Amino acid sequence: MSVHQSSNLKRITTHVLQEMKGRGEKISMLTAYDFSMAGILDAAGVDIILVGDSASNVMAGHETTLPITLDQMIYHASGVVRAVKRSLVVVDIPFGSYQGNSTEALRSAIRIMKESGAHAVKVEGGSEIKESVVRILSAGVPVMGHLGLTPQSIYKFGTYTVRAKEDDEAGKLIADAKVLEECGCFGIVLEKIPAKLAKQVADNVSIPVIGIGAGPDVDGQVLVVHDMLGITQEFKPRFLRQYADLRSTMTEAVENYIKDVKTNDFPSKKESY
């Protein structure tokens, strides 16, 4: 039975997520970028839908998340919000729309909330964006942090390898998580860091910590939906568990359609007026 068939449908709020962490119930989070996919994820019962700037990669075919614009994020988020009845919808503020100063950050967050109807925003970084995080929160907009491998900084890192393996980077990550918690963020995504460090962070902050490539000892997990459904082809990092092979299923369906069109098998009499 899907959650929408159940009579006690309860919307996921940041407060609900906090309660889940409190009772040790794991939080599920997946990305979505459009109405149809978001409707499937919401009906299946995923707790958080992230309109990630990974849309830049999986929807637009860019190599990095940097090119996607605020207008494009709002477009993706609007479709997602229209489909959702239960999940919390979090939207990435894209590269170049919050790093300048806190006024720009606030303006971008407000545009996302007002124009898409989303429930929260996500930003990458720690102490260096503290002022912006505080400013967005002061307007009543829930903020989620993102530490570890932060794809908007890929040209600073130079590679997509595991972050914070060395003590100094791990120490800064722990301190940044504390900063985000103290600012009032409702959660933090930790991407591609050692599992031991992720556990340390999750144990040391009171807010939910959601991992991607951060091991099992955090409060929840997030994956890019096209990766876990097997739609993307080449991206197969160690942390990815593929739950379906939709690329093969879809390819076979399209090949069968082409064959039926070419052989005049489709449409049949029953499929005609």
| Among positions 31, 97, 108, 152, the unique one binding ligand KIV when judged by CB under 6 A | 31
**Is 191 part of the annotated catalytic residue set?**
yes
By beta carbon distance, the residue nearest ligand KIV is 52
HEC per residue, the chain: CCHHHCCCCCCCCHHHHHHHHHCCCCEEEEECCCHHHHHHHHHHCCCEEEECCCHHHHCCCCCCCCCCCHHHHHHHHHHHHHHCCCCEEEEECCCCCCCCCHHHHHHHHHHHHHHHCCCEEECCCCHHHHHHHHHHHHCCCCEEEEEECCHHHHHHHCCCCCCCCCHHHHHHHHHHHHHHHHHCCCEEEEECCCHHHHHHHHHHCCCCEEEECCCCCCCEEEECHHHHCCCCCCCCCCCCCCCCCHHHHHHHHHHHHHHHHHCCCCCCCCCCC
Shortest reach from residue 269's CB to ligand KIV, in Å? 46
Tell me the closest approach of the beta carbon of residue 105 to ligand KIV, in angstroms: 17
Whichever of 49 and 106 has its CB closer to ligand KIV, that residue is 49
Under the criterion CB under 6 A, does residue 224 sit at the interface with ligand KIV? yes
Active-site pick, 115, 191, 234, 255: 191
- Binding ligand KIV (rule: CB under 6 A), the pick from 47, 92, 176, 219 is 92
Number of residues that bind ligand KIV (CB under 6 A): 12
Q: Which of 238, 195, 237 is nearest to 217 (CA)?
A: 195
- Could you give the string, one character per residue 104-143, with x where binding to ligand KIV holds by CB under 6 A and - elsewhere? ----------------------------------------
Minimum CB distance to ligand KIV, residue 179 (Å): 19
- 39, 52, 126, 230: which one contacts ligand KIV (CB under 6 A)? 52
Print the binding letters for residues 53-82 with ligand KIV: x by CB under 6 A, - otherwise: xx----------------------------
- Of 233 and 264, the one with the shorter C-beta distance to ligand KIV is 233
Structure tokens at 61: 């075919």
Instruction: Give the residue, chosen from 189, 197, 201, 202, that forms a contact with ligand KIV under the rule CB under 6 A.
Output: 189
Interface residues with ligand KIV (CB under 6 A)? 31, 50, 52-54, 92, 146, 189, 191, 212, 222, 224
Q: Which residues are catalytic?
A: 191
